[in-house]
Amino acid sequence: MHDLKTFFSDLGILKENISIKTLTSFKIGGNAKLVFYPNSIESIQTSIFYLKEKGIDFKMWGMGSNILASDDDYNGVIIKFDQALNNIEIKETFVTVGAGVSLIALAYKTCQLGLSGFEYATGIPGSVGGAIYMNAGAYKHDTYEILNRVYVYKNNEFVWMNKDELDYSYRHTSFCDHKDWIIIKAEFNLIHGDVKAIEAVVNDRKTRRCQTQPLNLPSAGSVFRNPEGYFAWQVIDQLGLRGKQVGGAMFSTVHSNFIVNVDNASSRDVFDLINLAIQLSKENLNIELVPEVEFFNWR
């Protein structure tokens, strides 16, 4: 432990025994033995090399908005990168942005500059890195429509990868299959548009989000991908699961593809609800529900 503290002392802030509940939008999880807050991209690179060399388990962590962490303690290092990877550079229509930048903040910033492309993202919580990881989207648009290239740590080196080098589809990308690849930053190509027209779309999406999503309770956003030909909430409603509660977790009565933490839910409460929906959907409707949430520290 002393060696770790010494090593990280010039690279950022290292904290011990942090509740993972404070790091996720679900407000669920055990304790993390160590959480490291790097102060630069160089600090992230140095820490990754060091932890790999020492064989210490680590997890890159953005805003924690799409994660279901187990209630078990995590004995590795969480690298909380959203403060270090928060730069935004804009040159004409090209936007280069750190993986830790809030997707919503980026959407509003580009909107104000009259750049169109991120309107779909004004209601999606989480970081740019998370959006690239899973090809996040809404309103029939997604992240890879405007993505140009990604700066990635893989195979012990940092490289730019063009979009055409990455397999991607609905809510799935190469990063889902290569969990050791780490997204550092990305470049997007937007188009010039009318500021007022873009603002009108953004404000409409914001209103719809406030009316149709349970924003007053902790959640991880949409739980399941939409099966082909259906919306996931329709499947959950057909199964009679809207409002279904297990322990402190419940399928939201506002939007049934959200599981909300209504009463100090455990990770097992949420996990059991997810599995219940998957099982009933397969048995009764022959529809396969695939979770969107990422499971962290499950054994």
C-alpha distances out from residue 23 to 35, 82, 157, Å: 10, 11, 28
171 is catalytic: yes
Cα 76 from chain centroid (whole Å):
20
Among residues 222, 252, 267, 281, which one is catalytic?
222
Among residues 127, 219, 267, 292, which one is catalytic?
292
DSSP string, the chain: -HHHHHHHTTTEEEEEEEEGGGGSTT----EEEEEEEESSHHHHHHHHHHHHHHT--EEEESS-TTEEE-SS-EEEEEEE-TTTS--EEEETTEEEEETTSBHHHHHHHHHHTTEES-GGGGG--SBHHHHHHHT-EETTEEGGGTEEEEEEEETTEEEEEEGGGS-EETTEEHHHH-TT-EEEEEEEE-EE--HHHHHHHHHHHHHHHHHHS-TTS-EEEE-BPPPTTS-HHHHHHHTT-TT-EETTEEE-SS-TTEEEESSS--HHHHHHHHHHHHHHIIIII-----B-SEEES--
288 is catalytic: no
16 is catalytic: no
Strand-pair partners of 35: 15, 78
Among residues 43, 119, 171, 281, which one is catalytic?
171
Task: Look at strands 74-80 and 31-38 and give their pairing.
Answer: parallel
Q: Residues, the chain, total?
A: 299
- How far apart CA 130 and CA 272 sit, in angstroms, is 24
Catalytic annotation, residues: 171, 222, 292
